[in-house]
Amino acid sequence: MPKLVEGDGRTHIESKLMRESLQDRKVLKGTDSDRDVHIFPDVTLISIGGQSIFDRGKSAILPLVDELAEVKKHHKLVIGVGGGTRVRHTMAVAMDLGLPTGGIAQLVGAMEELNAILLNALLAPHGSMPMQREHFWDLPLYFDAGITPIAISVPPFHFWEPPPIEGAVPMHGSDFGLFQLAEVLGFRQAIFIKDEDGLYDKDPKKHPDAKMFGNITLDELLAKPPTENILDEELYRTWADAKNLRRIQIINGLKPGTLTRALAGEDVGTIITKPEARRG
Amino acid sequence: MADKLPERRTIASSLSESSLTGSTTTLDYRPFAVMPDVRIVKIGGQSIMDRGRAAVFPILEEIIEARKRGIQVVVLVGGGTRARHIYTIASELEMPTGIIATLGKYIPMQNARMLQMILARHGGVFMLPDDFEKLPLYLSLGCIPVMSGMPPFGYWEKREGNSRIPPHRTDAGVFLSCEFLGCKRAIFIKDEDGLYTDDPKKDPKATHIPRCTAKELIAMNLNDVVVERMVVEYLPRARWCKELQIFNGLKPGNVLAALEGKDVGTIISA
């Protein structure tokens, strides 16, 4: 039976962290262990690029929707989407107006949601639903009913976006937001659908000699980071400190069949692994 | 299909070709401060709230007095021992940091609601993190807005170092609120006179540090600090919030003096 502890003017509940400063490194270390509980270990996160897929319109979106309608019969998926060129336009106007970083962060998520609504309108006949912000605990219900949820991809940092390491553009965008969802909920893997065959050492749209990475570990990638990156840098930084997610695959969504192959475990695109992350 | 790819339809803008990773932009960015005259003040959870009436009432009286003198005060509040209790149990259960951060939202929220009830007849209004947009109204009516200091990151809170405890807690919330609103100084009411060389509650030889910079503080590499480490890390790269003020709210007069802009306690600057 926990008891109340008094005597120093404050009333404490007895616990290991009672009276402790939560800035004390020794105290903090005592809260850690090698693993986290993995809540949904059989779920795959699918992220669909904004610029790379949605901004290309019908001829890029519809074949992918057909493929999703098929693979969702066999896999537990949570889908998230990027915002694409409208996010960049929002930021360009907001920065020209001089809005603070937190103000910009508050605005941008609306553009991703437009793509989420479009995707859901197309996928709903096959069983999909937009998932509200923190409704993760509904996931078992969704999967039992054959429904694929479409998650909100931009994290809720909003006005409270921390000052960026460089510049004024918020650091926590949809790539980070979706990664974090997969990490915290202990998903099996994350697949990022883009318009290139994988991750390259530089932007293949500008450099014909760009080389694609095949299978690579996160440590190898961080040792020689690409000059232009297809995913937000904050995703890699966060993943380096994270414990759960072991595998991120980057594939080309303009080539039909690629997503199906990736979900079947085939080596398509670039597979980044983090072997030291332990699974329960 | 594969031989003729559909084109990206791009809206032309200064960032349309940017990958948005890193600062590749050459934009002319001239930011403005949203509400620079607001004073955001944090009432500590363990240090003040858990002491109950004896500590809380005199502090609120000084806040009410500051408001009467025309100072625009926004009160944020911490969690305290109930947060420590749930963090202990959740850590034992090996919960990910994002879940612990979500649990951590509830206790400062309770504390904020308690303060709102006490302050109600003096204009106390309860506010959610996204309610900054209503702040001009509340303040022009002479209200004292009260909110939880916990950032709304929740499940999206990152792990940091060898710890399960969310690195952004209610100190970070105070700092980030100041940074968004464009306030120069974040004010923290605790039960110690500010920064010490170690926890003064445990080490009687710990000495007080009245003023220092974030860089000096990081270089001291203290095992324990009075304010969350993330805040000290952010301070040098903040655009607006360049100072943290930490002082003892149990000493009468300190709260009012701090709200009037006087240097009491410790000032940590960028």
Q: Give residue-wise pLDDT tens across range A178-190.
A: 999 999 999 999 9
ipTM > 0.95 for the complex: no
- Judge whether residue A279 has pLDDT over 80: no
Per-residue pLDDT at A140 = 97
Q: List all residues 6 or more positions away from B216 whose beta carbon is below 8 Å from its beta carbon.
A: none
Q: What's the whole-number average pLDDT of chain B? A: 93
- Judge whether residue A74 has pLDDT over 80: yes
Per-residue pLDDT at A125 = 98
Please state whether beta strands A270-273 and A215-217 pair in parallel, antiparallel, or not at all (unpaired). Answer: parallel
CA distance, residue B267 to nearest chain A CA (Å): 18
- Judge whether residue A12 has pLDDT over 60: yes
Q: Quick one: average pLDDT of A9-23?
A: 82
For residue B6, list chain A residues with Cβ-Cβ distance below 8 A.
Answer: 56-60, 254
Per-residue pLDDT at B19 = 65
A159 → closest Cβ in B93, B132, B172: B132
More confident residue, A73 or B28: A73
- Judge whether residue A17 has pLDDT over 80: yes
- Judge whether residue B1 has pLDDT over 90: no
Which of A214, A225, A176 lies closest to A47, judged by CA? Answer: A176
Q: Quick one: average pLDDT of A13-23?
A: 81
pTM over 0.90? The answer is: yes
The first and second tokens of residue A47, run together, are: 């992220």
Distance from C-alpha of B169 to C-alpha of A63, rounded to nearest angstrom: 44
- Judge whether residue B222 has pLDDT over 60: yes
Beta strands in B170-242 (DSSP E): 185-190, 195-196, 208-209, 211-213
- Judge whether residue B203 has pLDDT over 90: no
For residue B129, list chain A residues with Cβ-Cβ distance below 8 A.
Answer: 158-160
- Judge whether residue B141 has pLDDT over 80: yes
Percent of chain A with pLDDT over 70: 98
For residue B27, list chain A residues with Cβ-Cβ distance below 8 A.
Answer: 92, 95-96
Q: What are B5-47's pLDDT values in tens digits?
A: 788 888 988 888 776 655 555 678 999 999 999 999 999 999 9
Buried (b) or exposed (e) across B222-245, using 16+ Cβ within 10 A?
bebbbbbbbbbbbbeebebbbbbb
Are B94 and A35 within 8 A, CB to CB? Answer: yes
Q: What's the whole-number average pLDDT of chain A? A: 93
Q: Quick one: average pLDDT of A106-129?
A: 96
**pLDDT category, B126, cuts 50, 70, 90?**
very high
Per-residue pLDDT at A276 = 67
Q: How many CB contacts within 8 angstroms connect chain A with chain B?
A: 271
Gyration radius (Cα) of chain A, Å? 21
H/E run at residue B181: helix B170-181
For residue A56, list chain B residues with Cβ-Cβ distance below 8 A.
Answer: 5-9
Per-residue pLDDT at B37 = 97
Q: Which of residues 96-125 of B touch A (CB under 8 A)?
A: 96-99, 102
Q: Quick one: average pLDDT of A198-205?
A: 92
